[in-house]
């Protein structure tokens, strides 16, 4: 009897749960309605908008996709950004394609998500030489982004992104409307 009681009290029996880690305490699970969600979860954004090409003083259309990942208390993003005076399906002669990675901060509430990222990018630019030929250039640059998202469900939302993409040959700043998809859903309650 004493051995059974001592084993049950120190938590080594099969029915006990392990203690929460530091990160599980910092990012707990929450219940909204009849669903349970994990705070601080990873998310994916898809955005479309308008930008200002500062080298040529013209408006650009832009499109982006990015994955944002949490590692402990720090957030990282990895994404692709396209910008051009013409839409992407028109195969424009002038365009910017950025592959970017960054580190950032995030503040999350029930209906709101705010995030800021900054980091390096690998930019491929097509700059027209004449009416039929474009010069292809690869260079390093920088990419920064501010995200403001309204989450109508805890893991789905819509928002705006303010961004800047800077490199030697093609600088653009602008605003996008983005869709927010999170993997916060854990289970039904």
Asked if residue 51 belongs to a domain, the reply is yes
Report the CATH number that the domain containing residue 67 is assigned in CATH: 2.40.160.20
pLDDT tens-digit map of 5-22: 444 444 455 556 888 777
pLDDT band of 164, cuts 50, 70, 90? very high
Q: Could you tell me what percent of the chain has a pLDDT over 70?
A: 92
pLDDT tens-digit map of 75-114: 999 999 999 888 777 777 788 899 999 999 999 999 999 9
The domain total for the chain is 1
Asked if residue 55 belongs to a domain, the reply is yes
pTM (predicted TM-score) = 0.83
Asked if residue 32 belongs to a domain, the reply is no
Cβ–Cβ contacts within 10 Å for residue 81, how many?
24
Residue-range definition of the domain harbouring residue 181: 40-188
């Amino acid at each position: 009897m004493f051995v059974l009681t001592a084993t049950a009290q120190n938590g080594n029996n099969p029915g006990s749960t392990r203690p929460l880690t530091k990160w599980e305490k910092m990012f707990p699970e929450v219940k909204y309605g009849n669903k349970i969600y994990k705070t601080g979860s990873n998310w994916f954004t898809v955005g479309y908008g308008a930008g200002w090409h500062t080298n040529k003083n013209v408006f650009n259309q832009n499109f982006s996709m990015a994955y944002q990942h949490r590692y402990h208390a720090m957030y990282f993003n990895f994404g692709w950004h396209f910008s051009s005076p013409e839409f992407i399906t028109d195969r424009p002669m002038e365009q910017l394609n950025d592959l970017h990675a960054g580190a950032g901060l995030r503040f999350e509430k029930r209906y709101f998500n705010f995030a800021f990222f900054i980091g390096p990018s690998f930019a491929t630019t097509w700059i027209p030489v004449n009416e039929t030929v474009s010069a292809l250039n690869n260079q390093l640059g920088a990419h920064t982004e501010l995200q403001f998202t309204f989450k109508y469900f805890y893991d789905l939302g819509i928002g705006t992104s303010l961004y800047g993409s800077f490199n030697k040959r093609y600088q653009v700043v602008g605003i996008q409307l983005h869709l927010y998809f999170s993997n916060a859903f854990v289970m039904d309650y």
